[in-house]
Structure 1
Amino acid sequence: MTDLAQTGAAPPSDDGRPGRAAGRALRRAAPALLAYAGTRLLGLVVLAIWGAFADKSPHQLLSARWDSLWYTRIAEEGYGYTIYLPDGAVHSNLAFFPLLPGLERVISAMAPLGAADAGLLVSSITSLFAAWGIFAVGDLLYGWRVGVTLAVLWGVLPVGIVQSMAYSESLFTALAAWGVYAALTRRWLWAGLCAALAGLTRPVGAAVVAAVWAAAGAELLPGGRWRHAWRTDRSLLAGAVLAPLGWLGYVVWVSVHTGSPTGYFEVQNGWGNGFDGGVAFAGFIGGRLIEPPFVAGLGLLLGTGALVWLAVRCVGQRQPPPLLAYGGAVLVLAVAAKGYFGSKPRLLIPAFPLLLPIAVALARLRPVRTALVLGSVGLASAVYGAFWLHGTGPP
């Protein structure tokens, strides 16, 4: 694996007292978490104000629309619900991975909360853990200021309001960020466990598996260490084996449940999803470039170009293999998938490594200027999030 000393950081020492170490880590991350929580609070306040004028319930917008309804039904009734649409589409709830509805079910059974409110609770808590993990990665690689900036940048994404919804993005990003951090610091069993849980949360959990395997490969391949790994690196091998079990386990379960070896992928096809290398998305952009007013097509083209530029910058930063593997996989799986083009910004929420070049640049500014930039972007994000959720299409 890339030596972290080359990036100005090294794995933190372990003094054998995990409680004290966690306390120190939390105190170090506290400014990032407070700033991140401020971005989420601003988004909720703007949503509430917008909802008051639009006569719509912010609570319903956050907990009882679109995918959140599917998660709630799974939590309450289990799998097996399918909708057959007039256009031939078949929407099965098997498309939704089980960790979030499972948590909703457990929490609603233990606390006086419905499944939807349990989903909001999960998102509220795990969004903070996600911000903490993102801070930890930035801090490890580039220092404290970059870590804080990176966590806040993640909170002020244009569709950051999703982090406060009863969706699985916050839960997934928390597991992904800490899985990547564990891989960077060679905590192999933790990395494998986070990857396995991420694989039970969203299909893109495969990206966390890629991060763990990239770290393991970079650790073992130089000098032929892989020949003796079964004797000297058993925790590494255990983490690498554990990593894909969540994703594979659910896909295999769906195959058994449907009676087809490709059952999960058939379920995705029923939703109009799948991987086509970006052909459908390119056609979607092209269609908006040849029809007036052309603004949507130009915006999509510029946005896609910006994502490619950020990916190239990540490589230019010489980010460690786990980070490049994870960020690249999330980007490819989001952009190169067909269907639900309006949801692509949401699918990119977990791709926090793409924000690192921006975070490094902002952290070089004077703190006041950095705060002004992030505050302005945060306000714009809050307004856009309220506008987006009051629209007709799902995020």
Structure 2
Amino acid sequence: MSENSTTTLAPSEPSRRWLVSRLRDRSAIDGPPASEVPTWMDKWWTPLAVFASIGVLVWTAIWFGNNHLAHDPFFPVRHGIGDVWFGGFARWDAEWYRTIAREGYVYFPGVQSSVAFWPTYPVVIRLLSWAFPTIYITGTVVTVFSSAVVVVVLRKWAKLFVSPAVAFTAVALLCVFPFSWYLYGVVYSDALFIATAIGAFYLVERDRYFWAGLVGILATAGRPAGLVVALALVLRVVERRNLASGAVGVRQLFDPRGLTRADAPIFLSWLGVGGWCAFLWVKFGDPLLFVTIEASEGWDQGAGPSTWLKFRLLEELQHHPFAWSTMSHVAHGLVVIGALFLVPRVKHRFGWAYTVYVLGLIALPLMGTKDFFGGGRYLLGAFPCVVVAAELLVARPKLRMVILPLSLMMMLALAVAFGRGSYLS
């Protein structure tokens, strides 16, 4: 059996160290042998060093936008505690998270309300707010710490499937992705969601189903994509169990009869989304209120053909093709399309469960927005796509030397704009 056809499991279980896996793309680039990978690239601290180095640039960019550019009318200059350095990270949805952390959830029919925002991030902020001067500073600290976890666990997870060179490139690619400024301190829930999601999947790969279920609770209560996480975690456990039994074909791979009692803890992850729905039902009478609230005036993203077929974007392209908002929406759409093109590689490299996860994330901007807006941010969590994109770049070093710096420059430009209050995602 070749190493290229195996899946790494927890070292503490040597008798089950290798499972037969058909989830590998035999034509994929495996990268150079370990001996050809620079020693520093495989150190435990390397992802943190990359994240911190780029973080200095992002903080400088947001600081510049906040302190040296004219502000968006929605965000006049503030002179509160820490606003010189932290004010640029508290934009748009940050106001909602502050309100939830301080006052809890409210709902007003037909009006934008805080029930649209899932609870993990604001609850964590509330629990830690005693330690910091303001809610916003607390949120920034939570985001930075979560992102540090993301880059460390991303490399650990990736190295179970690909070479160290590809895993390192995946970390670098995520750190400079044009919308990754959200990972460097912005008071949004994305970083915490990604950290818990990838953490849960990594624990599944190491056969730590109980801990995967517990971490999964935080992920599934973190964002609407939590529904996809809950499903994909269970599918991955079923898939791995049946692969170990020599299953072939999709039907055999996902035969639930292959599960054992030891696999049951993974279902704990459903308590996150289940608890959130139960809370909405008890307090407001609608367990799916987070869906219906999207149709509120101003958001205008209720389910239906006008949203699914992007009528709003088509009107913008017809009447205002060169407006900043139109070009922004098109850019988000291109990110979504790019992710779709990577789906076949995700399937070949990681299997069906991760494919379901990625498709679920893509479906949010594809089917849940009227103009793709937010797609770049929503897909930050599509870490399997990041890894297969890194594989392509490792196989093309000259292209990598162009893509990574160009992406970094785009991210810094957007970070400056976000610092002044521009609405970008």
Higher relative contact order (CA 8 A, sep 6+): 2
1:253 and 2:279 correspond: yes
How big is each residue's C-alpha offset from its partner over 1:254-313, in whole Å with a ceiling of 9 and x where there is no partner?
Answer: 011112354343333335345548844532332233335468376566444323212233
Give the drift of 1:72: 0.9
How big is each residue's C-alpha offset from its partner over 1:77-118, in whole Å with a ceiling of 9 and x where there is no partner?
Answer: 122265x7xxxx411212212221111111112x14322111
Structure 1 counterpart of 2:405, from 375, 386, 391: 375
Classify 1:60/1:180 alpha carbon distance in 2 versus 1 (closer, same or farther; 3 Å).
same
**Separation in 2, partners of 1:330, 1:10:** 26
Classify 1:119/1:227 alpha carbon distance in 2 versus 1 (closer, same or farther; 3 Å).
same
1:287 and 2:285 correspond: no
Aligned to 1:305: 337
Classify 1:177/1:274 alpha carbon distance in 2 versus 1 (closer, same or farther; 3 Å).
farther
How big is each residue's C-alpha offset from its partner over 1:138-188, in whole Å with a ceiling of 9 and x where there is no partner?
Answer: 211102111111112111111111112011100000001111112223221
Consecutive unaligned residues in structure 2, runs of 5 or more: 15-40, 71-76, 78-83
Aligned to 1:96: 117
**Separation in 2, partners of 1:374, 1:4:** 32
Structure 1 counterpart of 2:264, from 225, 229, 237: 237
Give the drift of 1:49: 2.7
Root mean square deviation of aligned Cα: 3.1
1:148 and 2:168 correspond: yes
**Separation in 1, partners of 2:360, 2:61:** 33
Aligned residues: 371
Structure 2 counterpart of 1:314, from 328, 346, 351: 346
Work out whether residues 199 and 212 of structure 2, in 8 Å CA contact, stay in contact via their aligned partners in 1.
yes
1:54 and 2:84 correspond: no
Aligned to 2:56: 41
**Separation in 1, partners of 2:212, 2:410:** 35
Classify 1:345/1:318 alpha carbon distance in 2 versus 1 (closer, same or farther; 3 Å).
same
**Separation in 1, partners of 2:384, 2:282:** 36
Classify 1:30/1:322 alpha carbon distance in 2 versus 1 (closer, same or farther; 3 Å).
farther
Give the drift of 1:247: 0.6
**Separation in 1, partners of 2:217, 2:305:** 25
Work out whether residues 218 and 272 of structure 2, in 8 Å CA contact, stay in contact via their aligned partners in 1.
yes
TM-score by length of 2: 0.77
Matches within 5 A, 1:90-129: 90-109=111-130, 111-129=131-149
Work out whether residues 178 and 194 of structure 1, in 8 Å CA contact, stay in contact via their aligned partners in 2.
yes
**Separation in 2, partners of 1:104, 1:339:** 30
Classify 1:36/1:382 alpha carbon distance in 2 versus 1 (closer, same or farther; 3 Å).
same
Aligned to 1:137: 157
Classify 1:181/1:275 alpha carbon distance in 2 versus 1 (closer, same or farther; 3 Å).
farther
3-state DSSP class of the match of 1:253?
helix
**Amino acid of the structure 1 residue aligned with 2:275:** G
TM-score by length of 1: 0.83
**Separation in 2, partners of 1:308, 1:335:** 10
Consecutive unaligned residues in structure 1, runs of 5 or more: 17-25
**Separation in 2, partners of 1:374, 1:381:** 11
Aligned to 2:33: none
Work out whether residues 98 and 135 of structure 2, in 8 Å CA contact, stay in contact via their aligned partners in 1.
yes
Structure 1 counterpart of 2:387, from 356, 360, 385: 356
**Amino acid of the structure 1 residue aligned with 2:162:** Y
Percentage of identical aligned residues? 22
Matches within 5 A, 1:167-178: 167-178=188-199
How big is each residue's C-alpha offset from its partner over 1:327-372, in whole Å with a ceiling of 9 and x where there is no partner?
Answer: 1211112321035743222122211222222201222355x98466
**Which has the larger share of helix?**
1
**Amino acid of the structure 1 residue aligned with 2:289:** G
Work out whether residues 294 and 300 of structure 2, in 8 Å CA contact, stay in contact via their aligned partners in 1.
yes
